[in-house]
Protein backbone atom coordinates (compact mmCIF):
# COMPACT_ATOMS: atom_id res chain seq x y z
CA UNK A 1 0.00 0.00 0.00
CA UNK A 2 2.80 2.37 0.92
CA UNK A 3 4.58 1.59 -2.33
CA UNK A 4 1.40 2.26 -4.26
CA UNK A 5 0.89 5.60 -2.51
CA UNK A 6 4.52 6.52 -3.15
CA UNK A 7 4.12 5.62 -6.82
CA UNK A 8 0.94 7.68 -7.15
CA UNK A 9 2.62 10.58 -5.37
CA UNK A 10 5.65 10.40 -7.66
CA UNK A 11 3.52 10.27 -10.81
CA UNK A 12 1.39 13.15 -9.57
CA UNK A 13 4.51 15.17 -8.83
CA UNK A 14 5.94 14.52 -12.28
CA UNK A 15 2.66 15.45 -13.96
CA UNK A 16 2.43 18.63 -11.88
CA UNK A 17 5.97 19.66 -12.82
CA UNK A 18 5.26 18.88 -16.49
CA UNK A 19 2.02 20.89 -16.34
CA UNK A 20 3.78 23.86 -14.76
CA UNK A 21 6.67 23.68 -17.20
CA UNK A 22 4.50 23.34 -20.31
CA UNK A 23 2.19 26.11 -19.14
CA UNK A 24 5.01 28.65 -18.82
CA UNK A 25 4.98 31.34 -21.47
CA UNK A 26 7.93 32.65 -23.43
CA UNK A 27 8.64 36.18 -22.09
CA UNK A 28 7.58 39.17 -24.12
CA UNK A 29 10.13 40.93 -26.26
CA UNK A 30 11.42 44.32 -25.19
CA UNK A 31 8.89 47.13 -25.16
CA UNK A 32 9.30 49.49 -28.12
CA UNK A 33 11.40 52.58 -27.40
CA UNK A 34 9.43 55.80 -27.11
CA UNK A 35 9.60 58.14 -30.10
CA UNK A 36 7.58 61.24 -29.35
CA UNK A 37 6.78 63.77 -32.10
CA UNK A 38 8.22 67.25 -31.79
CA UNK A 39 4.95 69.03 -32.61
CA UNK A 40 1.29 68.62 -33.49
CA UNK A 41 2.16 68.95 -37.18
CA UNK A 42 4.71 66.16 -36.89
CA UNK A 43 2.26 63.92 -35.02
CA UNK A 44 -0.51 64.52 -37.56
CA UNK A 45 1.84 63.73 -40.44
CA UNK A 46 2.99 60.54 -38.72
CA UNK A 47 -0.64 59.49 -38.17
CA UNK A 48 -1.61 60.10 -41.80
CA UNK A 49 1.49 58.38 -43.16
CA UNK A 50 0.94 55.38 -40.91
CA UNK A 51 -2.66 54.90 -41.96
CA UNK A 52 -1.67 55.25 -45.59
CA UNK A 53 1.12 52.66 -45.43
CA UNK A 54 0.52 49.97 -48.08
CA UNK A 55 -0.59 46.68 -46.55
CA UNK A 56 -1.54 44.70 -49.64
CA UNK A 57 -5.31 44.74 -49.75
CA UNK A 58 -6.84 46.29 -46.65
CA UNK A 59 -10.63 46.34 -46.45
CA UNK A 60 -12.01 49.84 -47.03
CA UNK A 61 -12.48 51.48 -43.63
CA UNK A 62 -9.98 49.20 -41.92
CA UNK A 63 -6.91 51.31 -42.68
CA UNK A 64 -7.42 53.20 -39.43
CA UNK A 65 -9.24 56.25 -38.12
CA UNK A 66 -7.69 59.67 -37.58
CA UNK A 67 -10.01 62.51 -36.57
CA UNK A 68 -8.32 65.83 -35.87
CA UNK A 69 -9.43 69.34 -35.00
CA UNK A 70 -6.43 70.63 -36.94
CA UNK A 71 -4.52 71.56 -33.80
CA UNK A 72 -3.24 70.10 -30.57
CA UNK A 73 -6.18 69.63 -28.21
CA UNK A 74 -6.44 69.21 -24.45
CA UNK A 75 -7.28 65.52 -24.86
CA UNK A 76 -6.39 62.79 -27.33
CA UNK A 77 -7.66 59.22 -27.35
CA UNK A 78 -6.29 56.01 -28.86
CA UNK A 79 -8.90 53.36 -29.68
CA UNK A 80 -7.73 49.74 -29.94
CA UNK A 81 -9.94 47.27 -31.79
CA UNK A 82 -10.76 43.65 -31.02
CA UNK A 83 -9.61 40.25 -32.24
CA UNK A 84 -10.57 39.51 -35.90
CA UNK A 85 -12.07 43.02 -36.27
CA UNK A 86 -10.47 46.30 -37.40
CA UNK A 87 -10.66 50.07 -36.71
CA UNK A 88 -14.00 50.21 -38.54
CA UNK A 89 -15.35 48.84 -35.26
CA UNK A 90 -15.08 52.43 -33.95
CA UNK A 91 -16.65 54.15 -36.95
CA UNK A 92 -19.45 55.62 -34.77
CA UNK A 93 -17.81 55.78 -31.34
CA UNK A 94 -14.74 57.70 -32.58
CA UNK A 95 -16.86 60.70 -33.72
CA UNK A 96 -18.54 60.75 -30.30
CA UNK A 97 -15.17 61.46 -28.67
CA UNK A 98 -14.21 63.84 -31.45
CA UNK A 99 -17.37 65.84 -30.73
CA UNK A 100 -16.20 66.25 -27.14
CA UNK A 101 -12.98 67.87 -28.32
CA UNK A 102 -10.68 64.85 -28.53
CA UNK A 103 -8.27 64.21 -31.35
CA UNK A 104 -8.84 60.53 -32.14
CA UNK A 105 -6.52 57.81 -33.46
CA UNK A 106 -7.58 54.19 -34.06
CA UNK A 107 -4.79 52.06 -35.60
CA UNK A 108 -5.06 48.64 -37.24
CA UNK A 109 -3.38 45.67 -35.58
CA UNK A 110 -1.15 43.46 -37.78
CA UNK A 111 -2.99 40.78 -39.76
CA UNK A 112 -6.43 42.36 -39.34
CA UNK A 113 -8.75 43.92 -41.90
CA UNK A 114 -7.38 42.15 -45.01
CA UNK A 115 -9.66 41.62 -48.01
CA UNK A 116 -8.62 38.33 -49.56
CA UNK A 117 -6.59 36.42 -46.99
CA UNK A 118 -9.24 36.52 -44.27
CA UNK A 119 -8.36 34.71 -41.04
CA UNK A 120 -5.16 33.33 -42.59
CA UNK A 121 -3.65 36.82 -42.49
CA UNK A 122 -3.67 36.56 -38.69
CA UNK A 123 -0.44 34.62 -39.08
CA UNK A 124 1.14 38.09 -38.99
CA UNK A 125 -0.18 38.67 -35.46
CA UNK A 126 1.97 38.38 -32.34
CA UNK A 127 1.88 39.70 -28.79
CA UNK A 128 4.87 41.86 -29.64
CA UNK A 129 3.04 43.23 -32.67
CA UNK A 130 0.13 44.27 -30.47
CA UNK A 131 2.56 46.01 -28.12
CA UNK A 132 4.28 47.78 -31.01
CA UNK A 133 1.03 49.05 -32.52
CA UNK A 134 -0.19 50.44 -29.20
CA UNK A 135 3.18 52.04 -28.42
CA UNK A 136 3.38 53.73 -31.82
CA UNK A 137 -0.15 55.09 -31.49
CA UNK A 138 0.56 56.45 -28.00
CA UNK A 139 3.73 58.16 -29.18
CA UNK A 140 1.77 59.92 -31.92
CA UNK A 141 -1.07 60.78 -29.51
CA UNK A 142 1.33 62.80 -27.35
CA UNK A 143 1.61 65.25 -30.21
CA UNK A 144 -2.16 65.34 -30.67
CA UNK A 145 -3.25 66.15 -27.11
CA UNK A 146 -2.01 67.29 -23.72
CA UNK A 147 -3.61 64.30 -22.00
CA UNK A 148 -3.71 60.83 -23.56
CA UNK A 149 -6.40 58.19 -23.00
CA UNK A 150 -6.21 54.62 -24.33
CA UNK A 151 -9.46 52.64 -24.71
CA UNK A 152 -9.55 49.07 -25.96
CA UNK A 153 -12.21 46.45 -26.52
CA UNK A 154 -11.53 42.72 -26.09
CA UNK A 155 -8.03 42.10 -27.49
CA UNK A 156 -7.69 45.88 -27.58
CA UNK A 157 -8.61 45.89 -23.88
CA UNK A 158 -5.93 43.29 -23.21
CA UNK A 159 -3.40 45.49 -25.03
CA UNK A 160 -4.62 48.48 -23.02
CA UNK A 161 -3.85 46.48 -19.85
CA UNK A 162 -0.27 46.12 -21.10
CA UNK A 163 -0.23 49.89 -21.65
CA UNK A 164 -1.36 50.44 -18.05
CA UNK A 165 1.54 48.33 -16.81
CA UNK A 166 4.23 49.81 -19.02
CA UNK A 167 3.41 53.33 -20.23
CA UNK A 168 3.43 55.80 -17.37
CA UNK A 169 3.14 58.64 -19.89
CA UNK A 170 -0.53 57.74 -20.49
CA UNK A 171 -3.10 59.56 -18.34
CA UNK A 172 -5.96 57.08 -18.49
CA UNK A 173 -6.60 53.50 -19.60
CA UNK A 174 -10.06 52.03 -20.23
CA UNK A 175 -10.49 48.27 -20.62
CA UNK A 176 -13.80 47.19 -22.15
CA UNK A 177 -14.51 43.44 -21.96
CA UNK A 178 -10.74 42.76 -21.91
CA UNK A 179 -9.70 39.42 -23.40
CA UNK A 180 -7.69 38.21 -20.41
CA UNK A 181 -9.50 34.87 -20.02
CA UNK A 182 -11.92 32.96 -22.25
CA UNK A 183 -15.11 31.02 -21.72
CA UNK A 184 -14.05 28.40 -24.29
CA UNK A 185 -10.77 27.62 -22.48
CA UNK A 186 -10.65 26.72 -18.76
CA UNK A 187 -8.30 29.13 -17.02
CA UNK A 188 -6.28 26.30 -15.48
CA UNK A 189 -5.13 25.15 -18.93
CA UNK A 190 -4.92 28.48 -20.75
CA UNK A 191 -1.12 28.41 -20.70
CA UNK A 192 -0.96 24.80 -21.85
CA UNK A 193 -3.40 25.48 -24.71
CA UNK A 194 -1.42 28.55 -25.78
CA UNK A 195 1.84 26.61 -25.91
CA UNK A 196 0.22 23.65 -27.64
CA UNK A 197 -1.32 25.82 -30.37
CA UNK A 198 1.99 27.62 -30.90
CA UNK A 199 3.76 24.30 -31.48
CA UNK A 200 1.16 22.62 -33.69
CA UNK A 201 0.55 23.53 -37.35
CA UNK A 202 -1.60 26.62 -37.67
CA UNK A 203 -5.26 26.00 -38.49
CA UNK A 204 -8.35 28.11 -39.12
CA UNK A 205 -11.23 27.87 -36.67
CA UNK A 206 -14.59 29.37 -37.59
CA UNK A 207 -16.83 31.23 -35.15
CA UNK A 208 -19.71 29.29 -36.72
CA UNK A 209 -18.38 25.82 -37.74
CA UNK A 210 -21.43 25.16 -39.94
CA UNK A 211 -21.63 28.40 -41.92
CA UNK A 212 -17.87 29.13 -41.73
CA UNK A 213 -17.02 32.05 -44.05
CA UNK A 214 -20.72 32.57 -44.84
CA UNK A 215 -21.69 33.29 -41.24
CA UNK A 216 -23.38 36.66 -40.65
CA UNK A 217 -21.36 39.54 -39.26
CA UNK A 218 -19.66 42.83 -40.13
CA UNK A 219 -18.21 42.90 -43.63
CA UNK A 220 -14.92 44.20 -42.22
CA UNK A 221 -14.47 41.42 -39.63
CA UNK A 222 -13.25 37.85 -40.10
CA UNK A 223 -15.63 34.94 -39.59
CA UNK A 224 -12.90 32.95 -37.88
CA UNK A 225 -9.36 32.99 -36.53
CA UNK A 226 -6.20 30.90 -36.57
CA UNK A 227 -5.09 28.73 -33.67
CA UNK A 228 -1.70 30.40 -33.43
CA UNK A 229 -3.16 33.92 -33.40
CA UNK A 230 -5.44 32.87 -30.55
CA UNK A 231 -2.41 31.38 -28.80
CA UNK A 232 -0.54 34.68 -29.16
CA UNK A 233 -3.45 36.50 -27.55
CA UNK A 234 -3.75 33.95 -24.73
CA UNK A 235 0.02 34.10 -24.14
CA UNK A 236 -0.11 37.91 -24.02
CA UNK A 237 -2.96 37.78 -21.51
CA UNK A 238 -1.12 35.44 -19.15
CA UNK A 239 2.06 37.51 -19.26
CA UNK A 240 0.16 40.76 -18.60
CA UNK A 241 -1.61 39.16 -15.63
CA UNK A 242 1.71 37.87 -14.29
CA UNK A 243 3.28 41.31 -14.58
CA UNK A 244 0.30 42.91 -12.84
CA UNK A 245 0.67 40.42 -10.00
CA UNK A 246 4.28 41.47 -9.45
CA UNK A 247 4.37 45.18 -10.35
CA UNK A 248 2.14 48.18 -9.83
CA UNK A 249 0.55 49.75 -12.91
CA UNK A 250 2.21 52.90 -14.20
CA UNK A 251 -1.03 54.62 -15.22
CA UNK A 252 -3.03 56.38 -12.49
CA UNK A 253 -6.56 56.41 -13.93
CA UNK A 254 -7.66 52.79 -14.48
CA UNK A 255 -11.16 51.89 -15.65
CA UNK A 256 -12.45 48.36 -16.18
CA UNK A 257 -15.78 47.83 -17.96
CA UNK A 258 -17.34 44.36 -18.08
CA UNK A 259 -20.42 42.79 -19.61
CA UNK A 260 -22.16 40.12 -17.50
CA UNK A 261 -23.67 38.61 -20.66
CA UNK A 262 -20.34 38.24 -22.44
CA UNK A 263 -20.36 35.07 -24.54
CA UNK A 264 -16.63 35.09 -25.33
CA UNK A 265 -14.61 36.59 -22.47
CA UNK A 266 -14.43 35.15 -18.96
CA UNK A 267 -14.74 38.15 -16.65
CA UNK A 268 -12.64 36.47 -13.96
CA UNK A 269 -9.59 37.66 -15.90
CA UNK A 270 -10.62 41.31 -15.54
CA UNK A 271 -11.46 40.70 -11.88
CA UNK A 272 -8.00 39.22 -11.23
CA UNK A 273 -6.31 42.14 -12.95
CA UNK A 274 -8.30 44.67 -10.91
CA UNK A 275 -7.44 42.92 -7.64
CA UNK A 276 -3.75 42.84 -8.55
CA UNK A 277 -3.76 46.54 -9.30
CA UNK A 278 -5.51 47.31 -6.03
CA UNK A 279 -3.04 45.20 -4.03
CA UNK A 280 -0.35 47.51 -5.37
CA UNK A 281 -2.26 50.55 -4.14
CA UNK A 282 -3.91 51.59 -7.40
CA UNK A 283 -7.48 52.83 -7.58
CA UNK A 284 -9.60 50.93 -10.10
CA UNK A 285 -12.96 52.26 -11.28
CA UNK A 286 -15.23 49.37 -12.24
CA UNK A 287 -18.35 49.62 -14.36
CA UNK A 288 -20.74 46.83 -15.36
CA UNK A 289 -23.40 47.01 -18.03
CA UNK A 290 -26.86 45.92 -16.88
CA UNK A 291 -27.40 42.18 -17.34
CA UNK A 292 -30.94 42.68 -18.59
CA UNK A 293 -29.61 44.51 -21.64
CA UNK A 294 -28.29 41.18 -22.95
CA UNK A 295 -25.32 42.80 -24.69
CA UNK A 296 -23.06 40.80 -27.04
CA UNK A 297 -19.30 40.59 -26.50
CA UNK A 298 -18.69 43.16 -29.22
CA UNK A 299 -20.85 45.92 -27.82
CA UNK A 300 -19.14 48.70 -29.82
CA UNK A 301 -19.29 47.72 -33.49
CA UNK A 302 -22.56 49.12 -34.95
CA UNK A 303 -22.87 45.98 -37.08
CA UNK A 304 -22.95 43.81 -33.95
CA UNK A 305 -24.55 45.95 -31.26
CA UNK A 306 -26.70 48.26 -33.35
CA UNK A 307 -29.93 48.10 -31.34
CA UNK A 308 -28.03 48.85 -28.13
CA UNK A 309 -25.81 51.72 -29.24
CA UNK A 310 -28.10 54.52 -28.06
CA UNK A 311 -27.57 53.44 -24.46
CA UNK A 312 -24.13 51.79 -24.68
CA UNK A 313 -22.25 54.74 -26.19
CA UNK A 314 -23.39 57.39 -23.68
CA UNK A 315 -22.23 55.18 -20.81
CA UNK A 316 -18.88 54.42 -22.43
CA UNK A 317 -18.26 58.09 -23.11
CA UNK A 318 -19.30 59.07 -19.58
CA UNK A 319 -17.09 56.40 -17.99
CA UNK A 320 -14.16 57.33 -20.22
CA UNK A 321 -14.26 61.12 -20.52
CA UNK A 322 -11.11 62.40 -18.85
CA UNK A 323 -12.67 65.82 -18.26
CA UNK A 324 -15.27 64.21 -15.99
CA UNK A 325 -12.64 62.35 -14.00
CA UNK A 326 -10.46 65.44 -13.62
CA UNK A 327 -13.46 67.38 -12.34
CA UNK A 328 -14.28 64.63 -9.84
CA UNK A 329 -10.70 64.48 -8.61
CA UNK A 330 -10.56 68.27 -8.28
CA UNK A 331 -13.79 68.24 -6.25
CA UNK A 332 -12.34 65.58 -3.93
CA UNK A 333 -9.21 67.67 -3.32
CA UNK A 334 -11.23 70.79 -2.62
Q: Specify the CATH number of the domain 37-333.
A: 3.40.50.1820
What radius of gyration do the chain's Cα atoms show?
A: 21
d(CA 55, CA 67) in angstroms, rounded, equals: 21
The answer to whether the Cα torsion of 263, 62, 131, 233 is positive or negative is: positive
pTM for the model: 0.91
Residue 156 · residue 130 · CB < 8 Å: no
- Strand order of the β-sheet with 73-80 is 65-67, 103-106, 73-80, 145-153, 172-176, 253-258, 284-288
Per the DSSP assignment, residues forming a β-bridge with 275 are none
For 213, the 3-state DSSP assignment is helix
231-245 in b/e form (b: 16+ CB < 10 A) is bbbbbbbbbbbebbe
Close Cβ partners of 126 (under 8 Å, ≥ 6 residues apart)? 110, 232
Give yes or no for residue 216 having a pLDDT over 70: yes
135-162 in b/e form (b: 16+ CB < 10 A) is bbbbbbbbbbbebbbbbbbbbbbbbbbb
Mean pLDDT of the chain, nearest integer: 89
Per the DSSP assignment, residues forming a β-bridge with 256 are 175, 286
Give yes or no for residue 252 having a pLDDT over 90: yes
| pLDDT tens per residue across span 107-136 | 999 999 997 667 889 998 999 999 999 999
Amino acid sequence: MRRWLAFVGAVTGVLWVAYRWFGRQRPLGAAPAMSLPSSYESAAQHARSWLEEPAGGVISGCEGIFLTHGRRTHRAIVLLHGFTNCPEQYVELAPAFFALGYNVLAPRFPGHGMIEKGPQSLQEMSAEGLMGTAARAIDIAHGLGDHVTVLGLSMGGLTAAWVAQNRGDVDEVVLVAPALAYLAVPRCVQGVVANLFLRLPDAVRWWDPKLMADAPGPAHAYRGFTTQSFAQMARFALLVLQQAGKQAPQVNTLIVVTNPCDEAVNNTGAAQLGRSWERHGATVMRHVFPADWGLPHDLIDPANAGPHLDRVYPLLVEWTDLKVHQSEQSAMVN
